[in-house]
Amino acid sequence: MVDGTNRQWLFEKRPEGPVGSHNFRWARSDIPSPGEGQMLVRNLWLSFEPTQVLNMSAPPEEGGYPLGAPMRGLATSQVLASRIPSFQPGDLVYGFSGWEDFSVSDGKGYWDTTKVPPGVPPNLAAGTLGITGIVAYFGVTEIAKPRPGEVLVVSAAAGGVGSVAVQVAKVLGLRVIGIAGGREKCDWLREDAHLDGVIDHRSENVAARLDALCPTGIDIFFDNVGGPVLDLALERLRPHGRIVLCGMTSRYQQAPSVPGPMNYPQLIMVNGRMEGLLGRDYFDRFPEAIAALRAWIDAGRLKSKEDVVVGLENAPSALARLYSGANVGKQLLKIADPAPPSPD
């Protein structure tokens, strides 16, 4: 069906420290053929999420990735052959796939594989119009339930989810403060995302800067990091304040696990609310989020910030960028361009 070999990264070793190329093995195999109820796809763009390290650490019976199999993650792919009636050759799709050139999929997973809307570039489908942007959208609009003029603070504000969340909040009329690490990230938040205030946690005293930028407190804290910054936000939470728990990147690779937040009694004192956010809860509403985000992008009100690595051979180093804080925006990896439509 397809000539050539299938380059792939096999998951070989569970993390015992920082994730890197030592956790994987480069290999080649025959290109697979789809069975009944399956499709063969060519992977075009890989998406990287901080939570992938949790799947790498857990055993298969707890939802972890099996050793010796291709590493998995979200990807934009193109269907080459299909034995699933709802997918046809040439379709661009977004869902779970392997770190490899070609994968066989049944379209099922943490959520089902979906078709990329017409006109959406594959990189946007893997990033801002994929789970990253969708989580940011529903985290702000549904969990935070913002009101115009409220103060929203976002940690890891120049990361994949954070860079979208801050801009959604600005569109909705909030006063937005971003916390990020390093000059490049902070400059982007000021100059491109047009935030009302930016805190560089690498060079500034976060507590003092929060006091200066949020003198009356914080209405909403969108947390991608956890740890001490969450405690600082809890301490400054205003009456009926909300905390959106989206990620805990400061803790994913800490062993043994560290104690939880110290200032959670503040939730009682201010009638506050802290709620976790999972993208799968909004699967049926993905089209709604994609339509809103796409309209804002087209209108120039939302910019898609991407950190792109090129070449399948660089996938392990791309994943490692998430945990070192090197990425500015959504971490993606480009493998190939989609094939042009076949002539009629």
In this structure, the number of other CB atoms found within 10 A of the CB of residue 295 comes to: 11
pLDDT at 46: 98
pLDDT at 62: 87
CATH number at residue 211: 3.40.50.720
**Number of structural domains in the chain:** 2
Specify whether 123 is located in the same domain as 137: no
Specify whether 250 is located in the same domain as 218: yes
Specify whether 90 is located in the same domain as 137: no
Q: Confirm whether 309 is domain-assigned.
A: yes
Q: Confirm whether 62 is domain-assigned.
A: yes
Each residue's pLDDT, cut to its tens digit, for the chain (344 residues) gives: 566 899 999 999 999 888 999 999 999 999 999 999 999 999 999 999 998 998 999 888 888 899 999 999 999 999 999 999 999 999 999 999 999 999 999 999 778 999 999 999 999 999 999 999 999 999 999 999 999 999 999 999 999 999 999 999 999 999 999 999 999 999 999 999 999 999 999 999 999 999 999 999 999 999 999 889 999 999 999 999 999 999 876 566 555 566 778 898 999 999 999 999 998 899 899 999 999 999 999 999 999 999 999 999 999 999 999 988 899 999 999 999 999 876 65
Q: What is the pTM of this model?
A: 0.93
Containing structural domain, residue 322: 5-127+305-334
Specify whether 146 is located in the same domain as 201: yes
pLDDT at 341: 72
pLDDT at 111: 81
Specify whether 98 is located in the same domain as 121: yes
300: phi then psi, degrees, rounded to nearest 5? 80, 15
Specify whether 57 is located in the same domain as 31: yes
Q: Confirm whether 75 is domain-assigned.
A: yes
Question: End of a domain among 263, 280, 297?
Answer: 280
Specify whether 91 is located in the same domain as 136: no
Specify whether 71 is located in the same domain as 138: no
pLDDT at 254: 57
Specify whether 136 is located in the same domain as 264: yes
Q: Is the peptide bond before 256 cis (omega within 30 degrees of 0)?
A: yes
Q: Confirm whether 13 is domain-assigned.
A: yes
pLDDT at 230: 95
Q: Confirm whether 111 is domain-assigned.
A: yes
Specify whether 221 is located in the same domain as 265: yes
CA distance 212 to 153: 13
pLDDT at 257: 64
Specify whether 270 is located in the same domain as 152: yes
With contact defined as beta carbons under 8 Å apart, do 293 and 146 qualify? no
Q: Confirm whether 342 is domain-assigned.
A: no
CA distance 313 to 336: 12
In this structure, the number of other CB atoms found within 10 A of the CB of residue 335 comes to: 23
CA distance 36 to 32: 13
Q: Confirm whether 294 is domain-assigned.
A: no
CATH number at residue 43: 3.90.180.10
Q: Confirm whether 299 is domain-assigned.
A: no
Sheet-wide strand order for 218-223: 197-200, 175-180, 151-154, 218-223, 237-245, 273-276
DSSP string, 271-300: T-EEEE--GGGGGGGHHHHHHHHHHHHHTT
Specify whether 109 is located in the same domain as 147: no
